[in-house]
Structure 1
Amino acid sequence: DAAVWLSVLARSATGQPLSIYTNMITGPRRPGDTEGPEEVHLILLDNGRADLVGT
């Protein structure tokens, strides 16, 4: 699924195969870790972009 999202994002934002505005996150910190967020909230907003690539 990530490959489809990256493709849609790049094409709609910059017209390139891959955008430099792509960030990968790993999620909240694990028990025992001293750094990192306690929670991670991810909101995906498609706005019909997936239809543009035929998915």
Structure 2
Amino acid sequence: MIEAEVEALNQDFRLPAELTVSILPCGEPNAFYDPQVREITMCTEFADNLTAWAPE
């Protein structure tokens, strides 16, 4: 689910530099940005919460 959303965002937005998005287990439903390496970590637990919050 998250990978499809990242692909859709890549179609709509152009950033001045490449930004890495990683999907990893973190032990909590969250997402983090590390500006030093220009990386967003999306926790797999966050995807589970997004699915639960999505309207049917």
Per the normalisation by structure 1, the TM-score is: 0.31
Per the normalisation by structure 2, the TM-score is: 0.31
Q: Which structure dedicates a bigger proportion of its chain to helix?
A: 2
Q: Which structure dedicates a bigger proportion of its chain to strand?
A: 2
